[in-house]
A and B are shown apart, each in its own frame.
Chain A
Amino acid sequence: MQVTGTVLTTRRVDAYHALTVVAPGIAERHRPGHFVSVAVGGAHSSMVTRRALTVHDVKADYGGTVELVFTVRGPGTAWLAERRARDTLDLVGPLGRPFPLPRDPVHCVLVGAEYGSAVLFPLADMLLERGCRVDFVLGAASADRVFGAMRARRLAETTTLTTEDGSLGLRGRVTDALPSVIADTRADAVYACGPMESLRAVTAVAMEFDIPVQVAVEESMACGIGVCMTCVLPVIGDDGATRMVRACAEGPVFRGERVRFEDVGTIPFDALGAPGGGARHAG
């Protein structure tokens, strides 16, 4: 659904920006893993595509609020970073398919790289409600880009932090710490969000331990509702066939082992409808 949300508060979280927006309807329907899209630049904006944003927190206050986390990457997110309390935002959501939740109170490791961590907090709340054990591994290039370390420490049994420059926690990447966390916590499942490269590496680790891994991908998209076909990636279906599926509609959450990470950014030759795969082509 589309909602004109009102900005309640804004804050800087280290290298990131967070906006809390009153968005009734979106907040109450939100499930962990869902995202929202926002129009940027105001009424006569020259920016025509929407920005997909991660939801860090959902509250019932003021009829329902969502906290959106982003990093400034271009003029659209720069505009968002300039929003102040009482400004309005055009939001559409909740979008995409949320994280599937375990039926039993299992042990879950939640892995977040960069601000991908944000989406894991509503998930952690839900897992804890179900009696799951939650452990966090959060990482980034440097300390100011590790998102949510404090909140993770409050929520989780253990929180392991990694930075590539060693400015916080262990020096290295999340996947350097992940095997021992999985082993120590006797984890039953892994959830991850972050750049494609870290999702690839997290999936490889989980597969080594032979435990299920759910990843939330961050693909750039124009519409967020499944009509523009620009956010596709190669994913293996239940029938074993690879299809170019939409991150916004079939995702953003996928079973890690189903995503062909090595082939993201290409059309694998064996994908359904790939050029030369028996398909004659037009257009």
Chain B
Amino acid sequence: MAVAVDMRTFLAHVELANPVTTAAGCASAGRELAQFFDLHRLGALTTRSVTMAPRAGRPTPRMAETPSGMLNAVGLQGPGIDVFLERELPWLAQRGIRTIVSIGGGSVAEYSELARRLADAPGVTALEVNLSCPNMEDRGRVFAREGGTAAEVIASVRSIMRYDVPVVAKLAPDVADIVAVARSCVDAGADALCMINNPLGMAIDTETLRPSLAAVTGGLSGPAILPLAVRCVWQVHAALPGVPLIGVGGVMTGRDAFQLVLAGACAVGVGTALFNDPYACLRIERELEDLLQARGFQRLADAVGLAHRPPGGAARHLLVDTEESTS
């Protein structure tokens, strides 16, 4: 029996017991999943993106299943920061659940105000800034598509949050140059990056002859976007090897998570898979550990970014050649 793999990972200086987190907006604020398993078993719980005011979100239909994925146009429905601070965050904090709080805003000022409200709140393990929101001060152009405004948001939030709470910039994949946006965010003070948010997609209902979603377009998620996530993590890790990356997008199995780790992610977010399997995070963590163990890794950290090593380089971790490794 091989020794257990050390699955600990670091988001900047914050240690997580394992690398598997929920993806923002896919686990609400934790309570629903807590009916299924002990949330302490997660690397961290990432909340839905919290906004200043309560938001009713978009009209229905908000969801359409697509090949190996789904489209969503939820529109950041949520009760707003007051209720989050009164009820949701304390519930997580009292239980000592590692919590990455995601925030969403329509202006630099709004993100900053959210950071101010969260700066002294107990229980914030890290702050994730959802940059896939339209900038109300710039004709609704999405922050994540503009290195400049993304950097402004990050710099402001970073200056407000306590130094010991890492600020994570969450990036969108449908940009001309994700490395450029990533670099702007890191230069502005982001301690880590999370990628990818949903690329925009669309489906048309061939019965009604109308767009399937009331909002017409929606965010694509699920296995269909895994290769997009792997590519983004790969490119950003290659350019910024020292920056901790949370890889998100289409992770359904431990093998999917392993791809993101090999591409350079030190943590992995699970979103759509939770809709299919409430226990997905636990299963993926176990499967990832098994894969690492089968390949002779003693520490998850040793696998992070390993696929970047030159071809033919010594595969020092491949002690055993398992059947799966050829598939």
Is residue A47 contacting chain B, with contact meaning CB distance below 8 A? Answer: yes
Q: Tell whether, in the assembled complex, residue B59 and residue A265 are in contact, meaning their CB atoms are under 8 Å apart.
A: yes
Cβ-defined partner of B26 (8 Å) among A2, A46, A227: A227
Q: Tell whether, in the assembled complex, residue A227 and residue B274 are in contact, meaning their CB atoms are under 8 Å apart.
A: yes
Q: How far is the CA of A232 from the CA of B55 in the complex (A)?
A: 13
B36-69 interface bits toward A, Cβ cutoff 8 Å, 1 = contact, 0 = none: 1000000000001101111111111111010111
Q: Tell whether, in the assembled complex, residue B74 and residue A280 are in contact, meaning their CB atoms are under 8 Å apart.
A: no
In the assembled complex, which residues on chain B have CB atoms less than 8 Å from the CB atom of A244? 56-57, 77
In the assembled complex, which residues on chain B have CB atoms less than 8 Å from the CB atom of A232? 57, 60, 62, 77
In the assembled complex, which residues on chain B have CB atoms less than 8 Å from the CB atom of A283? 49, 51, 55, 75-76, 104, 106, 130, 132-134
Question: In the complex, how many residue pairs between chain A and chain B have their CB atoms under 8 Å apart?
Answer: 153
In the assembled complex, which residues on chain B have CB atoms less than 8 Å from the CB atom of A49? 63, 65, 70, 275-276
B60-90 interface bits toward A, Cβ cutoff 8 Å, 1 = contact, 0 = none: 1111010111101011111110000000000
From B27-35, B181-189, B233-241, give the one contacting chain A: B27-35
B113-137 interface bits toward A, Cβ cutoff 8 Å, 1 = contact, 0 = none: 0000000000000000010111010
Cβ-defined partner of B51 (8 Å) among A50, A220, A223, A282: A282
Is residue A222 contacting chain B, with contact meaning CB distance below 8 A? Answer: yes
In the assembled complex, which residues on chain B have CB atoms less than 8 Å from the CB atom of A249? 32
Given contacts A47-B65, A230-B74, A283-B76, whether A222 and B275 have CB atoms under 8 Å apart is yes
Q: Tell whether, in the assembled complex, residue A229 and residue B77 are in contact, meaning their CB atoms are under 8 Å apart.
A: yes
Is residue A219 contacting chain B, with contact meaning CB distance below 8 A? Answer: yes
CB distance from A95 to the nearest CB of B (A): 10
Q: Nearest residue in A to B62 (C-beta to C-beta)?
A: A230
Q: What class of interface size applies to chain B in its complex with A? A: 35 or more
Q: How far is the CA of A29 from the CA of B112 in the complex (A)?
A: 46
Question: What is the predominant secondary structure among interface residues of chain B facing chain A?
Answer: loop
Question: What is the predominant secondary structure among interface residues of chain A facing chain B?
Answer: loop
Is residue B277 contacting chain A, with contact meaning CB distance below 8 A? Answer: yes
Is residue B146 contacting chain A, with contact meaning CB distance below 8 A? Answer: no
B219-232 interface bits toward A, Cβ cutoff 8 Å, 1 = contact, 0 = none: 00011000000000
From A101-109, A124-132, A153-161, A271-279, give the one contacting chain B: A271-279
Cβ-defined partner of A227 (8 Å) among B33, B58, B60: B33
Q: Nearest residue in A to B80 (C-beta to C-beta)?
A: A273
Q: Tell whether, in the assembled complex, residue A273 and residue B106 are in contact, meaning their CB atoms are under 8 Å apart.
A: no
In the assembled complex, which residues on chain B have CB atoms less than 8 Å from the CB atom of A275? 56
Q: Tell whether, in the assembled complex, residue B32 and residue A220 are in contact, meaning their CB atoms are under 8 Å apart.
A: no
Is residue B272 contacting chain A, with contact meaning CB distance below 8 A? Answer: yes
Q: Nearest residue in B to A248 (C-beta to C-beta)?
A: B32
Q: Tell whether, in the assembled complex, residue A282 and residue B63 are in contact, meaning their CB atoms are under 8 Å apart.
A: no
CB distance from B102 to the nearest CB of A (A): 11
Interface centre among A2, A90, A280, A283 (most CB of B within 10 A): A283
Q: Tell whether, in the assembled complex, residue B223 and residue A46 are in contact, meaning their CB atoms are under 8 Å apart.
A: yes
Is residue A267 contacting chain B, with contact meaning CB distance below 8 A? Answer: yes
Given contacts A48-B70, A227-B28, A273-B55, whether A264 and B60 have CB atoms under 8 Å apart is yes
Q: Nearest residue in B to A233 (C-beta to C-beta)?
A: B60
Q: How far is the CA of A264 from the CA of B63 in the complex (A)?
A: 15
Q: Nearest residue in B to A223 (C-beta to C-beta)?
A: B275
Is residue A253 contacting chain B, with contact meaning CB distance below 8 A? Answer: no
Q: Tell whether, in the assembled complex, residue A273 and residue B277 are in contact, meaning their CB atoms are under 8 Å apart.
A: no
CB distance from A148 to the nearest CB of B (A): 27
Cβ-defined partner of B278 (8 Å) among A2, A265, A279: A2
Given contacts A229-B77, A267-B59, A283-B132, whether A39 and B54 have CB atoms under 8 Å apart is no
Is residue B254 contacting chain A, with contact meaning CB distance below 8 A? Answer: no
CB distance from A278 to the nearest CB of B (A): 7
Q: Tell whether, in the assembled complex, residue B275 and residue A227 are in contact, meaning their CB atoms are under 8 Å apart.
A: yes
Given contacts A244-B56, A265-B214, whether A229 and B62 have CB atoms under 8 Å apart is yes
Is residue B264 contacting chain A, with contact meaning CB distance below 8 A? Answer: no
Cβ-defined partner of B105 (8 Å) among A1, A39, A279, A282: A282
Within 8 A of B (CB), among A245-267: 249, 264-267
In the assembled complex, which residues on chain B have CB atoms less than 8 Å from the CB atom of A8? none
In the assembled complex, which residues on chain B have CB atoms less than 8 Å from the CB atom of A2? 36, 277-279
Closest 6 CB pairs of A and B: A273-B54, A279-B53, A230-B63, A223-B275, A283-B76, A282-B106
**Given A39-B276, A221-B63, list of 8 further CB < 8 A pairs?**
A2-B36, A47-B65, A48-B68, A49-B276, A90-B277, A225-B33, A232-B57, A273-B79
Q: Contact residues of A with B, CB < 8 Å?
A: 1-2, 39, 46-50, 76, 90, 92, 219-223, 225-233, 243-244, 249, 264-267, 271-275, 277-283
Can you list 19 A-B contacts with CB-CB less than 8 angstroms, sorted by A residue number?
A2-B277, A46-B68, A48-B65, A50-B275, A222-B272, A226-B32, A227-B274, A244-B56, A244-B77, A249-B32, A265-B59, A265-B60, A265-B61, A272-B56, A273-B57, A282-B76, A282-B110, A282-B136, A283-B130
